[in-house]
Amino acid sequence: MLPSMERLQRRVATGRLLAVAAGVAVLVACGGQGAPPDPCAGAQSITFSACAGSTADPSAPVIDRFEGPSCAHASQVGSYHLVFHDDDDRVTTIRLSGPKYPAPKDETLNPPVAKFDNTAILLVGGVAGDYEVHLSALDETGYRSAEVCGVVSVH
């Protein structure tokens, strides 16, 4: 016999259930203590800044702003706000790199764009640790923007 919806809601409120959806209750397996605390709860947003020593040709794209969560869960994506422009060309690729990445990760923009002010979905890392993230933009001519850098903690 299933417990009443009121009883299930009370268990959710007291941390004895994770969720109630479509009449299915998911029990917490940690002795009524509730879910473990989220290590990213309350984490501040980060605004990436110019990487030390990073330069670009005057014709290269410019990353105006890149900001988002300073904490992420392993193998889960995060939403970041990305703003860039290229006055004489179009950006074809966004490049993610850094010391923990064996090779740069390139995301091709299709179609290429001269301006962008929107959300970028980013998978920082699949293993716990602090990731120094470098982001740059490449245009149709082959010019690469100066990199912006920030550290994201992955849990």
The tens digit of pLDDT for each residue in 46-88 reads 999 999 999 999 999 999 999 999 999 998 999 999 999 999 9
Is a pLDDT exceeding 70 seen at residue 4? no
pTM for this one? Answer: 0.74
- DSSP state, residue 146: P
- The answer to whether residue 31 is domain-embedded is yes
- The answer to whether residue 57 is domain-embedded is yes
- The answer to whether residue 53 is domain-embedded is yes
- The answer to whether residue 82 is domain-embedded is yes
Band of pLDDT at residue 10, cut at 50, 70 and 90: low
76 & 144 share domain: yes
49 & 98 share domain: yes
50 & 85 share domain: yes
- Please give the structure tokens belonging to residue 3: 């417990």
- The pLDDT value recorded for residue 23 is 37
Number of domains present in the structure of the chain? 2
Give the domain range for residue 1: 1-35
Residue 17's nearest CA partner among 34, 2, 31, 30 is 34
- The answer to whether residue 40 is domain-embedded is no
- The pLDDT value recorded for residue 1 is 45
* Contact criterion met (CB below 8 Å) for 96 and 105: yes
The tens digit of pLDDT for each residue in 124-141 reads 988 999 999 999 999 999
